[in-house]
Structure 1
Amino acid sequence: MLQLFLVCVDDMRSNWQIEEARTPYNIFILVTKEKLTYTIEGVDVQLEKGDILYIPRNKLRGGRNHPDGPHQKYSAHFHILQPDAFPFLQVEHFCKIRTRQLDYMTQRFVVLLQQWLGHLPQYQIISQGILSELLGHMGREAEMTVYSPAKIKLVKTIQTYLIQHYRETVSIPRIAELSGRSPNYISQTYKEITGLSPIAYIHHLRIQTAMDLLINNHMTIGEISDYLGYSDQSHFNRMFKKLMGGPPSSVKR
């Protein structure tokens, strides 16, 4: 359905700039830090942390940092081999939306980048599968207007709570009590809109934090497991391998 050509990250490059030129591929972009500006067919598109931008192929595109400074973003460049499989991508100019699940989308893009750069067996199939998932989430979020403002507000409230308490033992009944809703309604509504259960989202937050700690900290794997609230290291190892494709030891050398 997709043919992937390039996955990359622009990580706070002070000299980042793209001269205007036609794009040979479709481009999917996720901004994870700060701001930047794209110019697409003469139209300036302002982007900031949490924004997704889709640019169809053969569009005149340029880009530059925001005056405030550099930014961080992930991007995937690809061809669509079966357009009917991605009807939400059949746009004439470009599509910009704001994601409601930035942490999850970032974590998936990190895995996509690792697979693409690692060149392990079957990396192309795995990478194209992850990109299809990311595009599917984009399509779902583009249709979020079908959800009531009350549901959207509830999900934002739940997500804020989870981000603040993800290292603790989170109780769905406790969230339900704080929100004035039933536990079943909390779980069903959150998954309906984000595609993840609240508990699954917590694990994604924990494992994303674990990746950062493994790369940038001197903590041992056991210390990271305890810090993130796992009852035992074997549980942490299983969740890390499930979400990242390999054990923590493959990152912590």
Structure 2
Amino acid sequence: MLELISAYFDNMDPNWYKDEACTPHHMFILMTRGNAVYRLNGIEIPLSKGDLLFIPKGTLRAARNSPEGPHQKYSAQFEVPNFARFPIAAEHSGRTFRSTQYEYIKQRFMLLNQQWFGRLPHYKMICEGMLMELIGCLAREAKEERFHSIKLRLMKEVRQYILAHYREAIRIEQLAKLIDRAPNYVTQTFKEVFGATPITYLHQVRIQAARDLILNTHMTMGEISEYLGYSDQAYFNRMFRRIMGHPPTRIVE
């Protein structure tokens, strides 16, 4: 059973660095902005936005901002019995890799940190569940080679269309026509490959965009709702709460 030891959010600290030391716990890192350089057992590993990194317990670790400037990242330290048999440990320990579900991984890390620092009842159990989910999703993704290359190509085409048109009304029939497949095939296969149905993924992308707009613009909730394709603000509020775990107004409180 995984035990979460700590969670961190490093946010553009220009003086950030870590002296070389032995890593006391297993670490999982997601870079969300900027660049950093890690040195693991004497080997330098550059990190940039979208990179994920597993660092096994006992690794000699040092880190610093890149010469280009500071960075932003989420990280979690955890313990788990028999790490060698833990999902994706052998394949990804000590090297960077990327997920096809970056926005979802980022969202889950953000929620994990909110729960960790909020310290509400049962927060630790919730956080450990989120971290297990993240690692499980990535373990599944690491097995993508079992999917036929045509299936992967088609689903990536669907995902790219959603990312390019997420503000528009998108129907399953529309996606099915895009790749010349049946609607049921699109729904089931997309979920098999990416862990969510196309419509669920569409809402995840929209709500992550909503969060960024709330934090970085002066748009009202109604304007954001309409901008992202929600004609009904009440529906937008429900989707935001369902995906983020709290109403959009909490971000600006």
TM-score (norm 1): 0.91
- 1:93 and 1:100 map into 2 onto residues whose CA distance is 18
Q: Kindly provide the amino acid, as one letter, of the partner of residue 19 in structure 2.
A: E
Structure 1 residue matching 2:252: 3-state secondary structure:
coil
1:188 aligns with 2:188: yes
Evaluate the alpha carbon distance shift between residue 149 and residue 34 of structure 1 in structure 2; reply closer, same or farther with a 3 A threshold: farther
Deviations 1:141-193 (A, max 9, x none): 22222223323322222222111111111122222222232222222221111
Q: Kindly provide the amino acid, as one letter, of the partner of residue 21 in structure 1.
A: A
Q: 2:146 maps to what in 1?
A: 146
Structure 2 residue matching 1:5: 3-state secondary structure:
strand
Shift of 1:131: 0.8
- 1:152 and 1:163 map into 2 onto residues whose CA distance is 16
- Show structure 1 runs of 5+ residues with no match: none
Deviations 1:29-82 (A, max 9, x none): 111223322211112223222221111111111122333333222111111147
Query: How many aligned residue pairs are there?
Result: 253
Q: 2:251 maps to what in 1?
A: 251
The farther-off stretch of 142-151 and 89-98 is 89-98
1:201 aligns with 2:201: yes
Does the aligned pair in 2 maintain the 1:56–1:92 contact within 8 Å?
no
Q: 1:109 maps to what in 2?
A: 109
- 2:158 and 2:186 map into 1 onto residues whose CA distance is 8
- 1:91 and 1:170 map into 2 onto residues whose CA distance is 36
- 1:107 and 1:91 map into 2 onto residues whose CA distance is 24
Q: Kindly provide the amino acid, as one letter, of the partner of residue 70 in structure 2.
A: P
In the TM superposition, 1:21-40 aligns within 5 A as 21-40=21-40
- Show structure 2 runs of 5+ residues with no match: none
Aligned structure 1 segments of 4 or more residues deviating by more than 4 angstroms: 81-85, 90-93
Q: 1:135 maps to what in 2?
A: 135
What root-mean-square deviation, in Å, do the aligned CA atoms of Structure 1 and Structure 2 show?
2.1
